[in-house]
Amino acid sequence: MDVNILKDGDAVATAGADLLQRVLRQKPNAVFGLATGRTPLAMYRRLVASCRDEGLSFRKVTTFNLDEYIGLSAEDPQSYRAYMKRELFDQIDIDPGNTFLPECGAKTDPLDVGPAYEALIRSRGGIDLQVLGIGRNGHIGFNEPTSSLNSRTRIKTLTRETIAANKDPSAQPQLAVTMGIATIMDARQIVLLATGEEKAEAVKRAIEGPVSAMCPASILQMHETVSVLLDEAAASKLALRDYYDWIATQKKRIAAEAEGD
Ligand code: GLP
């Protein structure tokens, strides 16, 4: 894992946006896996600004979101489709027809949504870069603790803790369709963003704990290409902090030497 401890949330957002832009420069028709929640908001704002001011283009991009609630219409402001439209899709030049969430319309059998989503991801060539946040209990997407580490896109019951962590628990659905853990692990590259003290324990378990379904994010230890972008608060419980700082020093030295060549 490439663990990056950055000054603050702004630096995390900038580093995340830079990573997406690097992928996009190499592959203008990249397939991105996207996350919702508070954490990626600042990163999305940076991408919007780059699109507006610097000619960044999502014209050929396809996106697959991690998850969507069951029982909310796409127009419901609490739905993840509405969030994505508001925070990103409506403000960039992406083709709305290339933006996918595991949505379960009123007439759709929820059991069909997962296999259809998996097939759609495959038909688009798989995910080049998957963006992840992390829940306080270590969940990724809506893969709550004890989710099979080999799971595929399917219906999940949210924990009471997850329901309470969302803005309006009274209007909060209790079921969602989420990419599975194996679906996430199929992505060629993964970036996990975490900010704030409330994520410090989950971050520690994910990076330095045993690989366990009790902390779904810990499976990322088994992926070859994961970048973790943390602010100081989210990194505050890491045991190997000194080592991560040492790596950062080495990276800076190598970059400076490469520039000098
Ligand atoms: C939510 C989402 C996750 C998100 C996580 C953290 O329940 N399903 O995809 O990464 O919890 O959310 P936040 O960034 O708001 O802390």
CB 36 less than 6 A from any atom of ligand 1: yes
Q: Output the pLDDT for position 110.
A: 85
User: Ligand 1, from 87, 139, 199: best to mutate by most atoms within 8 Å of Cβ?
Assistant: 139
CB 216 less than 6 A from any atom of ligand 1: no
Q: Output the pLDDT for position 169.
A: 65
Q: What pLDDT digit, counting tens, does each position of 12-33 carry? A: 999 999 999 999 999 999 999 9
Phi-psi region of 65 (alpha: psi -120 to 50; beta: other; left: phi over 0): beta
pTM of the model: 0.95
Nearest residue CA, atom 9 of ligand 1?
A: 141
Nearest residue CA, atom 11 of ligand 1?
A: 135
Q: What pLDDT digit, counting tens, does each position of 179-199 carry? A: 999 999 999 999 999 999 999
CB 138 less than 6 A from any atom of ligand 1: no
**DSSP letters spanning the chain:** -EEEEESSHHHHHHHHHHHHHHHHHH-TT-EEEE--SSTTHHHHHHHHHHHHHH----TT-EEEESEEESS--TTSTTSHHHHHHHHTGGGS---GGGEE-----TTS-HHHHHHHHHHHHHHTT--SEEEE---TTS-BTTB-TT--TT--SEEEEPPHHHHHHSS-GGG--SEEEE--HHHHHTSSEEEEEE-SGGGHHHHHHHHHS--BTTBGGGGGGG-SSEEEEEETTTTTT-TTHHHHHHHHHHHHHHHHHHHH-
Q: What pLDDT digit, counting tens, does each position of 105-157 carry? A: 888 888 999 999 999 999 999 999 999 999 999 999 999 999 999 999 999 99
> Which of 224, 198, 222 shows the shortest CA–CA distance to 212?
222
Number of domains the chain is built from: 1
Average of pLDDT values for 45-62? 97
Q: What pLDDT digit, counting tens, does each position of 58-101 carry? A: 999 999 999 999 999 899 999 999 999 999 999 999 999 999 99
Cα 191 to ligand 1 centroid, rounded to whole Å = 14
**Which residues lie across from 193 on neighbouring strands?**
229
| Nearest ligand 1 atom, CA 66 | 9
**CATH number of the domain residue 245 falls in:** 3.40.50.1360
| Domain hosting residue 187, numbered range | 2-260
* In contact, 120 and 114? CB cutoff 8 Å: no
Model confidence at 172, pLDDT cuts 50, 70, 90, reads: confident
Cα 26 to ligand 1 centroid, rounded to whole Å = 28
Cα 61 to ligand 1 centroid, rounded to whole Å = 23
